[in-house]
Structure 1
Amino acid sequence: MIGFYGPDGVTNLYLDFGFAGGRVLMQASDLGASVTDLQANKVDRSELPSLNVKTTGATGNGVADDTTAIQSAINQANTAGGGVVYFPAGTYKLTSALTIYSKVHLVGDGQTVSKLNQTSTSANAITGTDLLDVSITKLRVTGPGSGTGNGIYLTRSSADAGVFFHLEDVFVEEFGADGIYLSQPVVSTISRVISQSNGGHGFNLKGGDIAGGASTSLHFSACFANSNDKAGYHFDTVVYTSLTGCAADANGIGYEVTNLKSQSISFNGCGCESPANNSTSYPGIGWKIDGAYGIGLYNCWVYNAGVTGIWVTGNSHTISLVGCTDNTPSITALNFVKVDSGSFVTMIDCSNTSPNSLVTGTTSVLNDGAGNLSTKSVYSAGTITAEGDFTSFGGKITAAGGVGVGNSASASTLGILSKKMEVFDASGASLGFVPIYTTIT
């Protein structure tokens, strides 16, 4: 629906699209409404909402219970096949959960002025089941500060996934459980959302919690998880997902990725500051990657790490850490990067202040900040050149075409034989020994 203001009785509107033949006549209807009436019901200056919650009896005064009035607006939108439910500026008291439905979109005037205040310690604020195409934007959702409720809880009963979720400009805080819980969302976006001071996770995305499958095709942009007791971001059975410019401060774990079915997740320019020691399971870690594979951290940093900056464990595979930085760790920090036995990591151009704890054979380091390379194996069809030392700890140096050594010296007689190096071809067959002398005379 398009609304426009004009003289009374004028119902012809010409639309000009700027090209030949692009001018059409649209017959409008006179609503008989004033400019003030229309403005009072709009989402912004270009859209008219389906329903204003104040038209169904909500007060927004922070005192009266607005739960029934808001649910009435949501139900009417659902009956109509979907629509926008609009919350003008105000504080809307809730005493039980609001239930949303597919194709219903909750929109406020901004998270600083349009506020939902859940007063029950056992109820979620917003909940829904088996949803398709829902959005929550420009709202603040506040809980009672304790209890078992979640801020936004979108789950499943029989649907394969929750499809087309969009959360933007939302602030969720003070719930006893998770700030935001999404059951197997796919093709969904979360942008400029803050989840703060919750007793569980800030953002909890879980695939396969009802039946099979995984959360897929998700994007987080400029989100913030702050002071949550467990993880700022908790991903379980989540695949091909990206986070860009996100932050996690003062959580038990900043970013937690679990389960072998969590794959192909990239963290791009994300940060974690001052992770807090909240419990044995959430003791103050920046990133914990546990049993996942194909996870990448690109130009990420950890500031004031409590125990460990980045911990890779649980037989995680193909983990890439590129350009990651350990910034001013706390005095309790033990390690920047910790890799447990059975996990495999590649580190490139990472910078650490706290020592790394890398079990032998787990980690390939390409430039540790001082130009050194450490890896399980190196293969090259061409030439490998080392300006510094080339060391093998109990392994083999294999060369199909032989090994060339620079800094050669000539001498009339040989010196004192110190060691010998055995050289193998590509098939593993010995090519013989290269003598190592302590001096050349």
Structure 2
Amino acid sequence: MLNIFNRKARLSLWLVAVIALVIQGSIGGNLHVAQAADNVINAKDFGVKPNTNTSQSKEIQNALKYFYDRGTEGTVYFPKGTYLVDESIRLYAGVSLNGDGMGKTIFKKTGSKSQYVIGNPILRNNSDRLDVKLSNLTIDADRANREARGESQVGGMIIDVAVSHLTLDRVEICDTTIGALLRRTRDSEITNSRFDRNNGHAIATGHESYPAGEFRNVKITNNQITNSGGGSGINLSRATYTTVTGNQIINKTHQSDGYAGIRIPNNGANNIVNNNVIENYPRGIFVLTGATGNNVYGNTVKNASLQGLLVQSDGNTFTDNEFIQTNSSLNPDAIIRLANANSNKIIGNEMTTYSGFSNIGIRVTDSSSNEIRDNITDTSGKSVSIEGGSNNVNKGNRNR
């Protein structure tokens, strides 16, 4: 009887243990799923250290690889602090970066290597779909200090390969040569971000090596571009079907080169440029040879030194833009200038100038078949001057 009892007791204990293991495994499994469900990891858990004097490039790459190596998407969180990098941070497809805010989480260039702070990404399975969002952080190339030390100066971010679905939201890129150089990007967005103290273009697209349209269908909205040391605020080289709206492109002091707040060169086509404010650039908006089908409307340009709008291309539309010239030390040859430009529409634009402004309001040289209609100029000189060309329509324009 005792042996039977012992066997029953051992069997009961064994069953209890099995049930306990099953329950524990079930709970443990559920906890694991819950932890993975939010798909966020802390970079510090991978040895990434802010506010040190050593580069964190390798540790940052290890953190970014976590989700990529597992074939899943996720976000790496970088707590506030300054993270020095001596090699470009390479983004991984499906892996986003989030910080504690612009000016709080900072990736800062260090070392002697001539590499952008953010470099070409690592994609997956021969796909160009990146699916990466950068948010709430600063990219600082430390250009001014590096120049003073005789070190190479670099840009903030370069993506030279074909990618899609990249988002920059609340990202600051500062103290760089070029801010963000995105040559072959499509179906992406740059929004609510800040570009400050860039010594070249703040946002630059395309390249002569690639056909027009390799950069396409990108929204560039509600960004601040300030204190440029040269280049254009937004340079839409070879860009197509891109929307540029609601951006503040403002210099405190006047820029002295020949660039523009917004510039469309190299066959940029079918872009929308509207409701931007541009101030203290040599040219407000500059549309170069080969650019066509662009719709530029509702923008405000203040205090251009060369022209508020310069058009050297065919088949574009410019409507309801406002040009304000209050700095009497500047001497633009015209507020709106068309040169070797054909079949454009210049309609309903308005100018406000300082007292005594006497330069030409709208000047058209060697251009044909343009429609120049219902614009308001503000000059004691000639309102509209058409010099050469043929079949231009000059109708309904008036001077204040």
Contact 1:101 1:128 (C-alpha < 8 Å) held by counterparts: no
Question: 1:202 aligns to what?
Answer: 202
Which digits, 9 at most, give the CA deviation of each residue in 1:32-75, with x for residues without a partner?
Answer: x9xxxx9xxx9xxxx83432110111121253422221111012
Contact 1:168 1:191 in 2 (8 A): yes
Structure 1, residues 131-165: CA drift from partner, whole Å, max 9, x if none?
A: 52222111111112143422111121xxxx31111
Checking the alignment, whether the CA contact within 8 Å between 2:192 and 2:222 is kept in structure 1 is: yes
Does the CA contact (< 8 Å) of 2:211 and 2:238 recur in 1? no
**CA–CA separation in structure 1 for the residues paired with 2:211 and 2:321:** 36
Percent identical pairs in the alignment equals 19
Tell me the equivalent position of 2:236.
235
Tell me, yes or no, if the aligned pair for 1:179 and 1:200 is still in contact at 8 Å: yes
- The CA distance in 2 between the partners of 1:150 and 1:77, in whole Å, is 27
- 3-state DSSP of counterpart to 2:66: helix
Kindly indicate whether residue 41 of structure 2 is the aligned counterpart of residue 51 of structure 1: yes
* Aligned-partner Cα distance in 1 for 2:249–2:171: 16
Structure 1 residues 107-122: aligned runs within 5 Å:
107-120=98-111, 122=114
**Equivalent residues of 2:348, 2:375 under 8 A apart:** yes
Is this contact kept in 1: 2:189–2:219, CA < 8 A?
A: yes
Matched, 1:265 2:263: no
Alignment partner of 1:66 is 2:46:
no
- Aligned partner letter, 1:376: N
The residue that corresponds to 1:18 in the other structure is none
Match of 2:91 among 81, 87, 100: 100
User: Contact between 2:90 and 2:120, CA under 8 Å: does it hold in 1?
Assistant: yes
Equivalence for 2:81: 90
Counterparts of 1:25-174 in structure 2, within 5 Å, are 29-30=30-31, 48-81=38-71, 82-120=73-111, 122-129=114-121, 131-132=128-129, 133-145=131-143, 146=147, 147-156=152-161, 161-174=162-175
Matched, 1:256 2:257: no
CA contact (8 A) 1:186 1:218 kept: yes
Distance 1:211 1:347 in 2: 28
Does the 8 Å CA contact 1:196/1:225 hold for their aligned counterparts?
A: yes
Q: Give the equivalent residue in structure 1 for 2:214.
A: 214
Inter-partner Cα distance in structure 2 for 1:27 and 1:240: 50
Amino acid at match of 1:124: Y
RMSD: 3.1
State the alpha-carbon separation in 2 of the partners of residues 310 and 218 from structure 1. Answer: 23
Q: Aligned pair 1:365/2:372, yes or no?
A: yes
Does residue 264 of structure 2 align to residue 244 of structure 1? no
- 2:316 aligns with 319
Q: CA deviation at 1:387?
A: 10
What does 1:382-401 align with in structure 2 at a 5 Å threshold?
none
* Cα deviation code 1:63-94 (max 9, x no counterpart): 34222211110122321224211111111111
In structure 2, do the counterparts of structure 1 residues 312 and 388 end up closer, same or farther at CA, with 3 Å as the change threshold? closer
SS of the residue corresponding to residue 29 of structure 1 reads helix
Cα drift, residue 208 of structure 1: 6.3
What is the rounded CA distance, in whole Å, between the counterparts of 2:396 and 2:67 in structure 1?
70
Mapped contact 1:183–1:209 kept (Cα < 8 A): no
Structure ranking higher in helix proportion? 2
The answer to whether the Cα contact below 8 Å between 1:312 and 1:343 also exists between their aligned partners in 2 is no
After alignment, is 321-330 or 182-191 more displaced?
321-330
Superposition deviation, residue 30 in structure 1: 4.0
**Residues 312/54 of structure 1: CA separation in 2 closer, same or farther (3 Å cut):** same
2:4 equivalent in structure 1: none
Is the contact between residue 299 and residue 325 of structure 1 (CA under 8 Å) also seen in structure 2?
yes
The match for 1:429 is none
What TM-score comes out, normalization by structure 1 length? Answer: 0.68
CA distance in 2, matches of 1:127, 1:360: 44
CA distance in 2, matches of 1:388, 1:287: 21
CA spacing shift, 1:227–1:106, aligned 2, 3 Å? same
Q: Structure 1 residues 360, 290: closer, same or farther in 2, change over 3 A?
A: closer
Q: Which residue of 2 aligns with 1:422?
A: none
Aligned counterparts of 1:293 and 1:287: Cα–Cα separation in 2: 14
Measured at CA, do residues 206 and 305 of structure 1 come closer, stay the same or move farther in structure 2, by a change above 3 Å? same
Deviation at residue 219 of structure 1 after TM alignment: 0.9
- The offset of 1:120, in angstroms, is 3.6
Q: Does the 8 Å CA contact 1:203/1:225 hold for their aligned counterparts?
A: no
Cα deviation for residue 27 of structure 1 reads: 11
Structure 1 residue 212, shift from structure 2 partner = 7.0
Query: May I ask how many residue pairs the two structures share in their alignment?
Result: 330
Structure 1's 213 and 30: CA in aligned 2 closer, same or farther, altered over 3 A? closer
**Matched-pair contact (CA < 8 Å) for 1:207–1:213:** no
Match of 1:61, SS? coil
SS of 2:198's partner is coil
Greater than 3 Å deviation, 4+ residue runs:
47-50, 207-213, 360-363, 372-378, 386-389
- List gaps (5 residues or longer) in structure 2: 1-22, 354-358, 378-382
Q: Secondary structure of 2:375's match?
A: coil
Aligned counterpart in structure 2 of residue 328 of structure 1, from 302, 325, 332: 325
